[in-house]
A and B are shown apart, each in its own frame.
Chain A
Amino acid sequence: MNTNNYYPQAQEFQKELNSRYRVASIWQSLFLFALLIAVLSLTALMYNVIDGAFGYIAYEYKNDPSEFTSTPVNELTQEELLTILQSNLSSGAYKKLNNEQAMQTRSQADLLNLFLERLVQVDTKQTWTMTESIFQREKILQETASNYPEARIEFRSWLTPQFLVSPMSSRAEFAGVRTAVLGSLWLVGIAIAFALPIGTGAAIYLQEYAPKNWFTSLIQININNLAGVPSIVYGMLGLAVFVRLLEPLTSGSMFGISDANGRTILSAGLTMGILVLPLIIINAQEAIKAVPDSLRQASFGVGATRWQTVWHHVLPNALPGILTGSILALSRALGETAPLIVVGASTFISVDPDGPFSKFTALPIQIYQWTTRAQSEFHAIAASGIVVLLVLLLTLNATAILLRNQFQRKY
């Protein structure tokens, strides 16, 4: 070989190798940096949400509670509150409240809220996040004292049991997520009732029945594509088909329900069902694929028909996988917001949904609405709503993971 061609040896090689290792460690720190950003983002997001859900609030009473009762506010009993409300609210307003839920059956906390909301009328001046409340406590107290001398200030958790069971309200201080959570549950229920049987059926067809030809691969490609269609496009489809075209059905007018349009839970649920259908099909296909072929052959070997094989052997074994996939699809549906805006989830609904033809609101819609309000007290309940949503999602996903582990142990 040409003597000009050579490889560095000994010392020279060592030197070059050391610089190669330096380059390697630079790259590796870059990788770790990227990971750190991912972890920090998640931490910041969680912190941001929790931070919003607690903090100081400065508020004034428009009417002094002493105008209504001599007892201090936090010592009022249920009976006392009932009497106060009955005697001070207009009879129309009282009747309306009574119709939503009989006054006698309401809890003390509920009645106290009504008292503060309707009669005393709380006027929130300002709210602060948890971090501000902890680290700038003195400043907040001073500012409040000088800006709103009348105001009371207290550290409040926006996320309370009351928040979970209260209906919507136009005042952030008294709003809750009950209506929204119930709407979300209805929605997800309809979506899964629609998508699970059809999705599983489609998966069975594709894995167990479909011939290997261009048409089957067209279906498969189509399903994969549908999984990637932006959710807002599904919203437009729902608007055109369920809300408008099938209005007689989705509004319930076919069943004698009047004064409704197509913007109902049913329309939204079906839209959501179509949105999660591809996910359910793909997950169910994976679960069915995982059932060993020997099982099918054994079943055919004793003279079972194809459906008998599927029903008695394939499906029972694929079931945990199918359920896991469905739960994941469900959590996707629970968090989806854009299609609901398009098919017309109402922003202000204080009545619980009572059936598929109800007008409705959903948890993510409420979060969206509250987030986009200018007043900071709405951001606080948006944060509390997010905590509720995330806890629901976490529960669902934990269930899915438990199922998956159960499933993996088997094979």
Chain B
Amino acid sequence: MNFDLKKKTRIGESIIQGLLFFAGILSIFITLAIVYELGKEALLFFNNPDVTLAKFLGGTTWQPGIGDYGIWALVSATLTTSFIAISISLPLGLAVAIYLSEYASLRALSILKPVLEVLAGVPTVVYGYFALLFVTPVLQNIFGNENIQVYNMLSAGLVMGIMILPLISSMSEDSLSAVPRSLREAAYAMGATKIEASLQIVLPAALSGIGAALIVGISRAVGETMIVAVASGAGPNFTFNPLQAAETMTGHIARISGGDLSYNSIDYTSLFAIALMLFLVTLVLNLISQWVVNRFRERYE
């Protein structure tokens, strides 16, 4: 018998490994492509002699067609709707998470989890329908037709909050469940009631994971398009009044790109400038949340 243990080159194996490697690094190329393409067009926008950084970051009207480039007209609506969404989804999501991780029986879990999964799986355009044709009429009844516009940031923000709720509750629940049982037992053994253990021991111990959930929630709210495109308003408007109509960054991109748009026009390049801002903001938020989650994992493993 021939015992040849020399290393052999297996061509098939190498080709396959090469293909797999390519598939693995494709995601890097996607990121680079996003940065390059968005950056290229955004650069064209900023190279326009009419556009100055001072105007862009300082102005409060956005009408590229006639030389107004104040991004705040769009950012104000993004901030307002996101703020409303987070102030709905954070407390509710957290409360749901605590209930699910600390209180719910197995039977309750088997009913409630699917409800949250369905909420998480509903397409955003359906939430848009819900915002415009259910929540807005309800709000009109509450505030009176003359006080609230048909398109308004409040309705979009509230529904966005409902959309983000399952995300925040499931991420928070994960971090609450990751808190070791021994900490809860220690609290009970010192004569704590269940709520004291949950709120004063388990919750603080899971705080970094909840922080990560909050950040992902913000990133989701900032990037959400369809709800605001349907319900928040079609036109830039510098206002923080939630009862008014105003267009968010995402809503603006959707509306303008949906129409006829000629390449290299200022309208076209300006959309890429907005998209680049969106990408960078969400990138930073996502990186922070990942970093927080990883640090948190290390602590209990």
Contacts and interface: CB of A to CB of B under 8 A. Distances in A.
Direct contact of A and B (CB under 8 A): yes
Interface of A: 20-21, 23-24, 27-28, 30-35, 37-39, 41-42, 44-45, 48-49, 52, 197-202, 204-206, 209-210, 218-219, 221-226, 228-233, 235-237, 239-241, 244, 274, 277-278, 281, 305-307, 331, 334-338, 341-342, 344, 347, 364, 367-368, 371-372, 379, 382-383, 386, 389-390, 393, 397
Interface stretch (B45-53, B57-65, B68-76, B249-257): B249-257
Considering the complex of A and B, which 9 residue pairs feature the smallest CB-CB distances, nearest first?
Answer: A230-B223, A335-B123, A201-B23, A34-B95, A205-B24, A338-B225, A24-B195, A31-B99, A205-B20
Given A222-B31, A335-B124, A368-B125, A38 B132 contact: no
Contacts of A27: 195, 199
Interface of B: 10, 12-13, 16-17, 19-28, 30-31, 33-34, 37-38, 40-41, 91-93, 95-96, 98-99, 103, 112, 115-116, 118-119, 121-130, 132-134, 162, 165-166, 169, 193-196, 199, 216, 219-220, 222-226, 229-230, 250, 253-254, 257-258, 263, 271-272, 275, 278-279, 282-283, 285-287, 290
Select the residue from B165, B223, B287 with max chain A CB neighbours within 10 A.
Answer: B223
Given A27-B199, A336-B123, 12 more contacts: A24-B194, A35-B99, A198-B26, A201-B23, A228-B285, A232-B223, A233-B275, A233-B278, A236-B272, A337-B124, A341-B257, A347-B258
Nearest to A197: B23
Contacts of A38: 92, 96, 115-116, 119, 162, 165-166, 169
B275 to A, nearest CB: 4
Chain A interface, DSSP helix/strand/loop, else mixed:
helix
A342 B257 contact: yes
Contacts of A236: 37-38, 253, 257, 271-272, 275
Given A35-B112, A305-B13, A371-B129, A231 B195 contact: no
A232 B133 contact: no
B19 A364 contact: no
Given A202-B23, A390-B126, A229 B279 contact: yes
B37 A371 contact: no
Contacts of A331: 121
B125 A367 contact: yes
A338 B250 contact: yes
B19 A201 contact: yes
Contact of A229 (B124, B166, B195, B223): B223
A235 B256 CA distance: 13
Chain B at the A interface: SS class: helix
B34 A229 contact: yes
Given A367-B129, A386-B129, A204 B20 contact: yes
Given A341-B254, A342-B253, A274 B13 contact: no
9 contacts: A39-B115, A49-B129, A199-B23, A205-B21, A219-B25, A219-B27, A233-B38, A341-B254, A379-B133
Given A38-B115, A341-B254, A307 B132 contact: no
A278 to B, nearest CB: 7
A167 to B, nearest CB: 21
A370 to B, nearest CB: 9
